[in-house]
Amino acid sequence: MAIVEPLAAAAGERRRWALTSPVDGSALGEWEVATATDVDEALARARRAQPEWAARPVTERAAIIRGAVDVLLARKEEIVEALRAETGKPRAEALTIEILPSCDFLNHWGARAKRQLRDERKRLHGYLLPVKKLTVNYQPLGVVGVITPWNAPFVLSLNPVVQALLAGNTVVLKPSEVTPRSGEWVVRVLREAGVPDDVVQVLHGDGETGAAMVAGDIDKITFTGSVATGRKIAEVCGRRLIPCTLELGGKDAMIVCADADLERAAAGAVYLSMFNTGQVCLSVERIYVVEAVADEFIRKVIEKARAITYGAENKDMGPLFSDRQLEIVRRHVEQAKDKGAVAAVGGAPGAGDGLFFQPTVLVDVDHSMDLMTQETFGPVAAIMRVRDEDEAVRLANDSEYGLSASVFTRDPATVERIGKRLITGSVVHNDAATIYGVAEAPFGGRKSSGVGQVNGVDALRKYTHAQPILIARWATKSEHVWYPYSDKTLETLESILRYAFGNRFVRRLMS
């Protein structure tokens, strides 16, 4: 993300922030902070616009969203330019992390909206079947607030915004204050595709703006960011009795089994620890390798990490996105070295004016080090030898986080066996991070990694209220249990209990 600094403001003037490039320190411009009044006005516009948007057929909303793919492709270079200016990420990563999955999400959710959101007839069981019918209607929640991070500012804004819009909600987006233009492009693309202005809006601001949104006239909050901020949002949403989805980061473990393809495992360890400069919630942040193959695995990792280039242009790896993040990475690495870890590759800030950190491989690490317990979010492959798979599982679970994990082995059955023992939101075989891009897979964390899930086969329904409508099959004057009670009432109830539930064969038929 760009470096962001507050500018002096006279009394009565709006607060402003200045952005500075993480690549070379050059100025990227300024932006104004949206006030609580701005938030209230935006939410009011969204509230007024929502009924008309929800009244449109799902197929019409879906056609607009699918058409946004063409707009995105037409605007691709402008979006990539904004992303690279604010984050410094290489073009290949802007395309891989941001543009490609965004096109897929637009196309996928647009194609499945009608199926996911249509009314459902549910077959009733047991003694109710002859007298009642059930329909479930998926009602939009209303106005949804989406607050998004800086590490993948376009795709992590686009995906929840699109899901909420397709479900018939209006959306107000607050992108990170340090990647404001990258996030704003989501709204620009959707409006150009045909989403009305008041149906999707963007507000630029900092923590105060986000707090005003959470406290405002809103029906759901979707947030991706830090654990500390997520807890505050959850508290407010809990008091207000509105739903929230929180994705709060991770400390993802990679387990390398004795039968792993070590060439792939080593290549994966380096890339999955360092792509996007390690600033991905699904980055590999801890590597546990079984002792039997540790020497060869570490040798290959060192070899591959030494080949990575980093810098401003045409390099494998760009800068860290903020000066604050650079300091966290430096501190974690230095503390680990002080406690006995060895920097086999890198281990220090890089050369140049930007916020660079060398591609780093640390060995001889353990859980006494912050590097193995706290979110580092930097280009560091931290490798720990373990006795066997059981020890790897135990250490992988020894974390306050539980977002995802990866298992490198030649045997898919091993992945399932180990994966079911890991306390994580997801498990990936011979890869990592890709799980967020698998639209069919429900994505979310356990423990401090978050609350709720995005994506999955019912992703759009998570932005709705499932309203059951129970319909009478027959027009009768009364129900047999309504007043007045009589001997006949008791006789009827006793008969149901005796014949429906007193016979095990009938119980099975009615279950």
| Residues forming the active site | 247, 281
CA dihedral (436, 437, 440, 444) in degrees, to 10, reads 10
End-to-end Cα, the chain, rounded Å: 55
Residue 16: helix, strand or coil by DSSP? strand
- Count CB atoms within 10 A of the CB of residue 307: 10
Residue 57 sits at φ, ψ, to 5 deg, of -55, 145
Residue 65: helix, strand or coil by DSSP? helix
User: Is the backbone peptide bond immediately before 175 cis, with ω within 30 degrees of 0?
Assistant: no
Residue 314: helix, strand or coil by DSSP? coil
The whole-angstrom separation of Cα 468 and Cα 489 is: 28
Give the orientation angle of helix 155-166 with respect to helix 100-117, to 10 degrees.
Answer: 20
Q: Which residues fall within 8 angstroms of residue 327, CB to CB, at 6 or more apart?
A: none
The whole-angstrom separation of Cα 436 and Cα 101 is: 9
> What one-character DSSP code corresponds to residue 34?
P
The whole-angstrom separation of Cα 208 and Cα 195 is: 28
Q: Which residues fall within 8 angstroms of residue 397, CB to CB, at 6 or more apart?
A: 421, 422, 423
Which alpha helices (DSSP H) does 198-309 contain, by range? 207-215, 227-240, 262-274, 291-306
Whose CA is closest to 143, among 122, 164, 157, 159? 164
Question: Per DSSP, what are the bridge partners of residue 443?
Answer: 454
Let me know: does 1 contact 160? Beta carbons within 8 Å. no
Residue 358's H or E segment, with its range, is none
Residue 290 sits at φ, ψ, to 5 deg, of -65, 135
The whole-angstrom separation of Cα 310 and Cα 22 is: 13
Strand ranges (E), 364-503: 380-386, 401-402, 404-408, 426-429, 446-447, 450-451, 464-472
Query: Counting every residue, how long is the chain?
Result: 511
